Amino acid sequence: MRGALERVVTSPTFRSSPQLAAFLKFIVESALAGHPEDIKGYTIAIKALGRSEDFNPKTDAIVRVEAGRLRRALATYYGEAGVNDPIGIEIPARGYVPTFHRRAIAEPPRVQLDMPARMRALATSVAVAGRPYAAAVALLTLGAAAYWGFETWYLGNPFVAKSTFVTAGVLDPPSSATRWRGRPVGPIIQLIPTKATGTPTAPTITAMSLSDRLRDTFARFEDITVVSEAPEPAGSAAPAPDYRFYSEIEYNPDTTITLAFHIVDTSDGATVWSRGYDHLAIGSDPHQIKYPIVREVAATLFNPFGVIKARDRSKIVNARVPDPRYRCVLESGDYWRSFDVALQPRVRDCLEQVVAQDPTFAGGYALLARVYLRDYQFGGDQAADPAMLDRALDMVKRAIELRPNSARAYYVLLEVQMTRGAVDDAIAAGETAIKLNPDDPVAATHYALQLIGLGEVDKGRALLEQLPNIGTVPQTHLEFALFLASYLQGDVGDATTHANRMSANTYSLGHLARVLVAHKRGEKTMARQAYERLVELAPAWRANARSELKKLFASSKVVDRLAEDLNEASGVEVN
């Protein structure tokens, strides 16, 4: 039955609709696990379709609509790609619990293996004088026939599953990664109930509401698992938490409150981060205080460049990160931050290996898609190969199939689709990423940059101004977004400030920014120096700068303006 499910969700019909694949996977796995009680509208909406916990099936018909689409997609599949599938999956007209049945299918014609004529002629022409070589000829003939027969059977057999996501070149023998297959990736964070002192005065923030908000916000971030405060029973095989998060609320006599947070590494008892907010005036709406603070705390701790991943990166040196999938996540973070192309082969190979060994690793597929996209855009060892874009799209679609509520996967899809020129699809993906995790500053930064690159500068700037704790966002990406917004609006002074903050010598777009602002300021020598460093990093900028700009920005107006300015600044005709 699981084989039948895998054939369905990897078919073209379902690969183009990750939400339907997620719906089908959830209900089938729940049924096979013996939990039909979980297969109802509310749980499907939350666990498969990415709806929030306040989902109301009476007012939102998404599950019924998607169920209808799913039934039609299954009918299409079994009439086309799945015509020879031995087991069928059906969704009843009333309800969502799937049923399985054996299908009456035509027996595939038996292939008659016939050795090629050349082999037969060679075998029969062996003379008596050549008998010492007859055995070798016979073995060669049998080997060729066996290979031809296997190839015919394998490539022509509809029952053999063939992955389209990982090439054979990266499939290594099973390693230690296989024992992590299907497990959560990243550290386990134990959320301790909020401790309250003093006497509350309404309206205020209660300890329970603060705990609930922390839990709900933390759970939206990837590469962590949030668990309750309840201790595990004696003898449990459940893993111990890697960190414990503590929160306190003090009700002051003057009706203000004081909040304190800290997180402890359970491996050595060290407090790795703490923060306090003193004498906060509540006002009429406690949410106006609680939501921004919790948002800032979560972004500081859990985004890809936050406190927890910084702490865990230091553990790699001491081999204290045993999960190879999480090691790849951490190493890829160094690649995104530094923009050092020398790190690219190692990161790509690492991710290719772990997704081959754990095909359920959704985050690995999303990160691998970004690697392929960056190869295409910035001159990796397979630069400007359109096949890299197709591969990136396959990878990120696979990530969404496996984890439909992944904000990371959707902002990677945003970047891939924008680079492909599918602007409407890209915008839809960006909106979905923000909806899935409105508290992730990295997702917001990526979306804002794409909006600015489309020429929607005001909308992109507004998104950047709402970022929580922007110090935890990679400065290169944030500063380039701010530079581009200022430059396109004609604010050369502000654009210069942001250009100069992109100090990484390996970040080609930082040099592009400095070329443009130096030219606008009449600083010809500085403009020329920045241009030479740009083409040293990426020679394609000298050969065809307009083509490089098109790989970054979907708006022809933005490309034309930057190409014209770069032409004047460099003194080189821009193609």
Over residues 144-203, the pLDDT tens digits come to: 444 334 333 333 333 333 333 333 233 333 445 567 777 789 999 999 999 999 998 888
Residues 91 and 129 in one domain: no
Q: Quickly list DSSP for 245-280.
A: EEEEEEE-TTS-EEEEEEEEETTTTEEEEEEEEEEE
CATH of the domain at 267: 3.40.50.10070
Rounded to the nearest angstrom, the gap between the alpha carbon of residue 255 and the centroid of all alpha carbons in its chain is: 44
Residues 140 and 196 in one domain: no
B/e letters for 306-317, b = 16+ CB within 10 Å, e = fewer, are: bbbbebbbebee
Token duo for residue 445: 């930064």
Residues 125 and 89 in one domain: no
Token duo for residue 303: 């985004």
| CB of 191 closer than 8 Å to CB of 215 | yes
Q: Could you say which of 102, 137, 165 is where a domain stops?
A: 102
Q: Is residue 445, in this structure, part of any structural domain at all?
A: no
Domain count, the chain: 3
Q: State the pLDDT at residue 101.
A: 85
Contacts of 297 (CB under 8 A, 6+ apart): 214, 261, 275
More confident call, 183 vs 244:
244
Residues 236 and 263 in one domain: yes
Q: Is residue 520, in this structure, part of any structural domain at all?
A: no
| CB of 441 closer than 8 Å to CB of 469 | yes
Look at the block and give the residue holding tokens 């005036």.
Answer: 281
Q: Is residue 573, in this structure, part of any structural domain at all?
A: no
- Report the alpha-carbon distance of residue 406 to residue 365 in Å, rounded: 12
Contacts of 555 (CB under 8 A, 6+ apart): 453, 454, 455
Phi-psi region of 17 (alpha: psi -120 to 50; beta: other; left: phi over 0): beta
Q: Is residue 151, in this structure, part of any structural domain at all?
A: yes
Task: With CA atoms as reference, report the closest residue to 553 among 410, 450, 414.
Answer: 450
Q: Is 572 exposed, middle or buried (0-12, 13-18, 19+ CB in 10 A)?
A: middle
Residues 56 and 121 in one domain: no
- Report the alpha-carbon distance of residue 244 to residue 225 in Å, rounded: 12
The dihedrals phi and psi of 159, each to the nearest 5 degrees, come to -95, -5
| CB of 103 closer than 8 Å to CB of 159 | no
- Report the alpha-carbon distance of residue 155 to residue 178 in Å, rounded: 27
The dihedrals phi and psi of 400, each to the nearest 5 degrees, come to -70, -35
Look at the block and give the residue holding tokens 């130096």.
Answer: 518
Domain extent for 21: 2-102
Residues 62 and 149 in one domain: no
Q: Is residue 42, in this structure, part of any structural domain at all?
A: yes
Of the pLDDT bands very low, low, confident and very high (cuts 50, 70, 90), residue 6 is: confident
Residues 192 and 306 in one domain: yes
- Report the alpha-carbon distance of residue 326 to residue 312 in Å, rounded: 9
Residues 134 and 95 in one domain: no
Do the strands 225-227 and 188-191 form a parallel or antiparallel pair, or are they unpaired?
Answer: parallel
Q: Could you say which of 263, 290, 311 is where a domain stops?
A: 311
Of the pLDDT bands very low, low, confident and very high (cuts 50, 70, 90), residue 123 is: very low
Mean pLDDT of 198-224: 90
- Report the alpha-carbon distance of residue 320 to residue 308 in Å, rounded: 14
Q: State the pLDDT at residue 230.
A: 53
Summarize pLDDT for 345-397 with one digit per residue, the tens: 899 999 999 998 888 899 999 999 999 998 888 864 445 678 889 999 999 99
Report the percentage of the chain scoring pLDDT > 90.
38
Token duo for residue 376: 């295409």
Task: With CA atoms as reference, report the closest residue to 554 among 454, 416, 449.
Answer: 454
Lowest mean pLDDT among 27-31, 49-53, 254-258: 49-53
Q: Is residue 448, in this structure, part of any structural domain at all?
A: no
The angle, 0 to 180 degrees and rounded to 10, between the axes of the packed helices 386-402 and 407-420 is 150
Residues 216 and 273 in one domain: yes
Q: State the pLDDT at residue 409.
A: 94
CA distances from 150 to 132, 167, 183 (A): 29, 20, 35
Q: Is residue 220, in this structure, part of any structural domain at all?
A: yes
Token duo for residue 415: 């970047």
Residues 214 and 140 in one domain: no
CA atoms within 13 A on the CB side of 113: 14
Residues 10 and 78 in one domain: yes
Of the pLDDT bands very low, low, confident and very high (cuts 50, 70, 90), residue 452 is: very high
Of the pLDDT bands very low, low, confident and very high (cuts 50, 70, 90), residue 137 is: very low
With 0.85 as the threshold, say if the pTM is over it: no
Other C-beta atoms closer than 10 Å to the C-beta of 136 total 9
Q: Could you say which of 311, 332, 359 is where a domain stops?
A: 311
Residues 204 and 285 in one domain: yes
Summarize pLDDT for 33-54 with one digit per residue, the tens: 777 878 888 888 888 887 777 7
Q: Is residue 170, in this structure, part of any structural domain at all?
A: no
- Report the alpha-carbon distance of residue 452 to residue 524 in Å, rounded: 27
- Report the alpha-carbon distance of residue 433 to residue 424 in Å, rounded: 14
